[in-house]
Structure 1
């Protein structure tokens, strides 16, 4: 199955992986920093950059904030949420910047109004956050926009994933991509469970990818070998920057490696068969062995196994064919260490 994100880019495990640089809130409320992140993601070869579209009131209730600690601590978090949120004008500006750097602009909406705003901006797909997998009302509203749906599955039970898929399909939208995700920042290696990727693909029959929160580049690269057709990785300029996700993000150097190596791995996966490349065929004669004389042999010699040695190159009689030479008579002399050919025997 393949899904077109844009007329030029399609999602399939047989195609170049679609790489999303998850900027999220790593712009820290600074549009100059956001521009720099987009520019660097483009240089890395990423297909898309993704932001998050929320406000102080579109996700967390006041009761949720009250669980964050003291009044001072609560106010600090509210100030951060307000600072890191993006208004409609900023969304439009970010899309223009993405067009300037030839990278797809997308964002995760957390409310109906934000879905409408992103639809007006003609994002190539809608992203469902792991935390909203059970928010079927919002998922259904996104699906009605008839754009591909990229659905993260962190914290989800299989039945919840199935319900989300059924909701999307009930709206006449069959363009669904699941992202295996572990909603820990970062997860331990034992918690990543990359075999979930082919399992989700086999279970639901849709393209699958990996939304990664691990440290380093090895987990997303490993996911390609297990069939991931989309990689989403948080992106930063510096792990030590102030903010929520910089520590678990990829730097430009790391993202460049993810893009480069994931493309190479996808090509190297190949197909389920045992075939030889033309270059490997050329190597056969040089590295395989042939039957050569283990001692100088004279015409009339009745060949025995003791007369044989097996050495490179493999241009003569194969070692497995030695039994067909035993008992045969030589028609000519054979020098030591030279091949015995079918023309040399009666």
Structure 2
């Protein structure tokens, strides 16, 4: 990964190089159009340990053609007729988003939002949001991306349903704009069911190709996915894999009640699961620490597993040492074998019996 745009500010929180993996609960439209419920979602996320909460600002007429959506999305949103119908029934109005953002400030959690149209982005800008989240459907919407980038708000851009070429076009636009941004690997399946559908290696590849922080927008259900043998792989194991690949953040859908009749409740986390995920990620980060030293827990093994310089034969006092006189054996209680060259050509102070571990006090330095 190159050194370009390695840290991105989303307001009171940052993502990128040297920062903890940020867990982003996605409240989405799980408030079902209720400002009170949206506030409760934000409060619940805060109580679970989250430092940011994401919502969505929808203006149906600005983002969708109603008839076209009825023809293409009715099977996924059959309880509402189409995605258009679902959004109409479950959205928060712009003034309610403004109130929600103020509430988030009051309780100390960062408000974050996805605009699904240019008009929505303009409204959020005027509200004073710190950053935008761009959904996967808008990744290659160049008119939208170009105009949103001009607003100079840091952007997190999801990449579901996109080819490398399409992602590259968006990256080019963003880099030319000078607006800081991050990418989110995303599989736009709700939810994915197999490990082979996760493609977590894309996280590292994106980082290498584009030189920006990359995270995971994850739709795996809390109960996990199956590998090719049918074994259940937990959600936590998926997240560990993402962190191992370098994920700067993980976005997870979040709900107050997994049994609620919401469009995404079946793959959302509740408060208890969110708290557990945050704790799991912090533990994973400890496991992925990059320090390399002789750790305290290794020292009992170090003393017997490392090797010392040992006399091959009896060595008289005053003899000059050469390579044929010594070998290396366990334990590591004498001159370290890595330092054997320091005693070649040196004289001994005393006689050293064959098979003895040679100490520094045995050598004239």
TM range (shorter): 0.7 to 0.9
Distance 1:342 1:149, change over 3 A: closer
2:226 aligned residue: none
Distance 2:87 2:212 in 1: 34
Distance 1:203 1:341, change over 3 A: closer
Q: How many residues end up aligned between the 2 structures?
A: 329
How big is each residue's C-alpha offset from its partner over 1:273-310, in whole Å with a ceiling of 9 and x where there is no partner?
A: x8314525643236658899xxxxxxxxxxxxxxxxx8
Distance 2:54 2:160 in 1: 17
Kindly indicate whether residue 66 of structure 2 is the aligned counterpart of residue 61 of structure 1. Answer: yes
2:185 aligned residue: 180
| 8 Å contact from structure 2 (residues 10, 154) kept in 1 | no
Q: Which runs of 5+ in 2 are unaligned?
A: 222-234, 311-328, 344-349
Q: TM-score normalised to the size of structure 2?
A: 0.75
Q: 1:30 aligned to 34, 38, 58, which one? A: 34
Q: 2:56 aligned to 49, 52, 58, which one? A: 52
Q: 1:86 aligned to 92, 101, 105, which one? A: 92
Distance 2:189 2:10 in 1: 31
Q: 2:296 aligned to 266, 279, 285, which one? A: 279
1:131 aligned residue: 137
Q: 1:147 aligned to 147, 153, 158, which one? A: 153
| 8 Å contact from structure 1 (residues 133, 156) kept in 2 | yes
| 8 Å contact from structure 2 (residues 244, 288) kept in 1 | yes
Kindly indicate whether residue 197 of structure 2 is the aligned counterpart of residue 191 of structure 1. Answer: yes
Secondary structure of 1:180's counterpart equals: strand
Distance 1:73 1:16 in 2: 39
| 8 Å contact from structure 2 (residues 59, 120) kept in 1 | no
Give runs of aligned pairs for residues 1-346 of structure 1, distance below 5 A: 1-6=5-10, 9-57=13-61, 58-67=63-72, 68=74, 75=81, 79-170=85-176, 172-187=177-192, 188-215=194-221, 216-271=235-290, 275-277=292-294, 279-280=296-297, 282-283=299-300, 284-285=302-303, 314-316=332-334
| 8 Å contact from structure 1 (residues 290, 339) kept in 2 | yes
Distance 1:264 1:116, change over 3 A: same
Distance 1:224 1:261 in 2: 11
How big is each residue's C-alpha offset from its partner over 1:65-114, in whole Å with a ceiling of 9 and x where there is no partner?
A: 14537xx9665765532121110121012112211221111111111211
Distance 2:33 2:14 in 1: 32
| 8 Å contact from structure 1 (residues 13, 227) kept in 2 | no
| 8 Å contact from structure 2 (residues 11, 110) kept in 1 | no
Secondary structure of 2:60's counterpart equals: coil
Q: TM-score normalised to the size of structure 1?
A: 0.79
- Which region of structure 1 is more displaced relative to structure 2, 79-88 or 185-194? 79-88
Aligned residues: CA RMSD: 3.9
Distance 1:157 1:275, change over 3 A: same
| 8 Å contact from structure 2 (residues 236, 280) kept in 1 | no
| 8 Å contact from structure 1 (residues 54, 85) kept in 2 | yes
Q: Which runs of 5+ in 1 are unaligned?
A: 293-309, 325-330
Distance 2:81 2:159 in 1: 31
